[in-house]
Amino acid sequence: MNKTVEILSDQPALVARALELILSRLKTAIEQRGKFTIALAGGSTPKPLYEAIANQNLPWDKIHVFWGDERYVPPDHPDSNELMARRAWLDRVAMPAANIHAIPTLEGNPEQSAVKYEQHLQEFFNSAPGKFPAMDVVLLGIGDDAHTASLFPHTAALKVSDRLITVGNKDAHPRITFTYPFINAARSVIFLVAGANKRPALAQIFAPVADDLTYPSRLIQPQGELWWLLDAAAGLELKP
């Protein structure tokens, strides 16, 4: 694992750096493999990044968009990660509908939806059951409790190591989420973290010793690159 921590002056600088990293990896992926795969994060921090990507002149037909997690709500629900990304980016560009790989949330059965999305991923990547294909980029954030994607402290999802997709749980509300081994198979994982409220979580995530089940972001140790992009407020106590 190649881990890099960068502390940027503010949120616009964080977004600009994330855009730079993504565009570089997109170019390499398309040159080497003919397509670029990215898993999106929800929350407020990546929204301006998606808006910035929408303003680029890119080969949209070669870009495939997935989601690292999703609330179990309809895609037009205000809490939907898909809806946010569509409004900020995907509906603003000429991306083929087949390149947008949304998490299914209308089955009424989260376990069934998780299986369905996993099967879709296996078909797309032509990967065998039990094998973890490599996304080009997985974008992540963290919560105040050090969760990432929908991998919450001391939940069953943290124990799932033989699947790509599982059901996460937040206050009895189900989510669909990438498992940590699937995230760790990625070529590049990029955390975007903004705000002073994230400092206590970051202190535990970066601590030499702490409990992974209490601070789930510690489980993210990808085989490829690991980037932590922090704004100055989040990274203040991590400065040398």
On the question of pLDDT at 89 being above 60, the answer is yes
What does pTM read for this prediction?
0.97
pLDDT value of position 171: 85
pLDDT value of position 225: 97
Residue 146 lies in a domain: yes
pLDDT value of position 2: 85
Are the C-beta atoms of residues 133 and 32 closer than 8 Å to each other?
A: no
On the question of pLDDT at 191 being above 70, the answer is yes
Which residues contact residue 88 at a Cβ distance below 8 angstroms, ignoring those fewer than 6 apart?
47, 48, 50, 51, 54
Buried b / exposed e over 18-56, threshold 16 CB at 10 Å, is bbebbeebbeebbeeeebbbbbbbbeebbbbbbebbbee
Position 130 confidence tier, pLDDT thresholds 50, 70, 90:
confident
Number of structural domains (the chain) is 1
pLDDT value of position 223: 95
On the question of pLDDT at 147 being above 90, the answer is yes
Residue 84 lies in a domain: yes
Q: What is the CATH number of the domain that holds 67?
A: 3.40.50.1360
On the question of pLDDT at 240 being above 90, the answer is no
Residue 107 lies in a domain: yes
Percent of the chain with pLDDT over 90: 93
Strands 137-140 and 36-40: parallel
Residue 200 lies in a domain: no
On the question of pLDDT at 98 being above 60, the answer is yes
pLDDT value of position 239: 63
Question: pLDDT tens for residues 22-66?
Answer: 999 999 999 999 999 999 999 889 999 999 999 999 999 999 999
Residue 136 lies in a domain: yes
Average pLDDT of 179-196? 98
Note down the domain range covering 54: 2-195+205-211+220-236
Q: Which residue type occupies 47?
A: K
Average pLDDT of 211-215? 97
pLDDT value of position 170: 87
Residue 54 lies in a domain: yes
For 31, 91, 188, 204, 232, the CA distances from 183, given in Å and listed in that order, are 23, 26, 9, 20, 26
On the question of pLDDT at 172 being above 90, the answer is no
